[in-house]
Structure 1
Amino acid sequence: MSTPDFLAGARAVVFDAYGTLLDVHSAVQRHTRAVGSDAKTLSDTWRQKQLEYSWVLSLCGRYTAFWTLTERALDYALARHPNVDPSLRPALLEAYRRLDAYPEVPATLDALQAVGLKTAILSNGDTAMLDMAVRSAALHDHLDAVLSVDPAGIYKTSPRAYDLAPERLGVGIRETVFVSSNRWDVAGAAAYGFTPVWVNRTGQPDEYPDLAPVQVIDSLNALLR
């Protein structure tokens, strides 16, 4: 594998988990037939509220485990979509615990490790839900560390959350490439001083022009050449 320019000088590649390595919409997709025609909008609402709750709590100086926010966000999404059978709640939550990894993820992580780079997750997910998700997707053996923001007690994009990666991995901030599918997370990583890469799988318009990624890719395959 030849390495892209943005990996030059890097010692670690740190990934966001939800939406970057793990497909957050796969939970609802597994139950599309039961959910019905509102499946896509239900999943979109669930994800948006999950993130919104994390931002609001962080700005308020409060912290609640991400799994609790995930449950609350689903409750809101079900309330907004009354045509969806609310008895699906337990099945949807169980599916969220065991999200599908994007197909290119294992090979990407292995290839990065093969050239001497440390690989890690830094996620808003709490420790328990992250552990289950990573084991379910069979990714543990492909990662040097799985880091939750739990010890920081605040969500990304707080610098205190990003501090966890260099501290745990023993690498410098400038030696860390941070990869996320969430443009707000890329902005936070850029502000912190990481080398940020945006995985823009769905062709979303750019935001935060003063906090730009060094590279925009449409798949993790672009980390390999």
Structure 2
Amino acid sequence: MRNISTIIFDVNETLLDLSPLKDSIDSKLGEGAAEVWFAELLQYSLVESISGSYHDFSKIAEAVLQMNGSKKGIELTREKIQQILDPITKLEAYPDVEEGLSKLGNAGFKLIAFSNGKPSVLKDQLYYAGIANYFDEVLSVDAVKKYKPHPETYRFALKRSDSIAQETVMVAAHGWDIAGADRAGLKTAFMQRPGKFLFPLSNKPTWELKKLSDLAEILKDI
């Protein structure tokens, strides 16, 4: 295996714990509503990419929440929607994240944060969580106007980080992100977060991680 030079990280649910946002949604729309909302958020972001349209992730998130409210007979004003989704910029990093990023950064890897979220939200998230300083670059799909796992998104991230696929690892807690990165030629590391599973019909990831610091131990021996 060729040496790894760059590590790209998904953000939501990979580095940051979405629990406060899920609790906010469930408190308004009922238990389990947040899981439905997030799944449909991904669904409609893919509809945008496939159909050649583009709205930023925050707008899609708001629209999908409004749809889910309507399904339950709950009319949500724009102000109420924004209030419910407000925790998105106030998420904590998982306990293993800071140590893992520190070890990887100290080992000389180029670290890239890469999200479907719009740039301003992404930056606010990383600063609030106290991990912004670990990244060499912070990238959003907003620049390419397509959502992960579209192959153009990974090509964009590689180009912007001056990296090549064979020397780059995509770290994500989402099976769809792992599958997309694999198809784009990147090495992959699946982060085993609660309730997250790999897609059985895709290739197995290069590595599976229980905590982020495990990746530093794995890569030092390559």
TM above 0.5, yes or no, is yes
For structure 1, list consecutive stretches of 5 or more residues without a partner in the other structure. 1-5
Equivalent in 98, 103, 109 of residue 117 of structure 1? 109
Q: What is the TM-score when the length of structure 2 is the normalising length?
A: 0.86
CA offsets per residue over residues 121-151 of structure 1, 9 Å max, x none?
1111111211111122122111111100111
CA contact (8 A) 2:189 2:209 kept: yes
* Aligned equivalent of 1:38: 30
Counterparts of residues 38-77 of structure 1 (less than 5 Å) = 38-39=30-31, 41-77=32-68
2:204 is paired with a residue whose SS is coil
- The total of aligned residue pairs comes to 216
Q: Does 1:15 align with 2:6?
A: no
Equivalent in 88, 91, 106 of residue 96 of structure 1? 88
CA contact (8 A) 2:172 2:178 kept: yes
1:17 is paired with a residue whose SS is coil
1:66 Cα deviation after fit: 0.7
What letter corresponds to residue 155 of structure 1 in structure 2?
A: Y
1:218 Cα deviation after fit: 3.0
1:83 Cα deviation after fit: 7.5
CA contact (8 A) 1:24 1:47 kept: no
Q: Does 1:173 align with 2:160?
A: no
- C-alpha separation in 2, matches of 1:205 and 1:141: 29
What letter corresponds to residue 216 of structure 1 in structure 2?
A: E
- C-alpha separation in 2, matches of 1:36 and 1:92: 8
- C-alpha separation in 1, matches of 2:98 and 2:150: 28
CA offsets per residue over residues 27-72 of structure 1, 9 Å max, x none?
133x48x917924x12112211111111111111111111101111
1:94 Cα deviation after fit: 1.2
What letter corresponds to residue 25 of structure 1 in structure 2?
A: S
For structure 2, list consecutive stretches of 5 or more residues without a partner in the other structure. 218-222
The RMSD of aligned alpha carbons is: 2.5
- C-alpha separation in 1, matches of 2:41 and 2:29: 22
1:179 is paired with a residue whose SS is strand
Percent identity (aligned): 27
- C-alpha separation in 2, matches of 1:23 and 1:208: 24
1:74 Cα deviation after fit: 1.8
1:105 Cα deviation after fit: 1.3
Counterparts of residues 105-144 of structure 1 (less than 5 Å) = 105-144=97-136
1:79 is paired with a residue whose SS is helix
* Aligned equivalent of 2:220: none
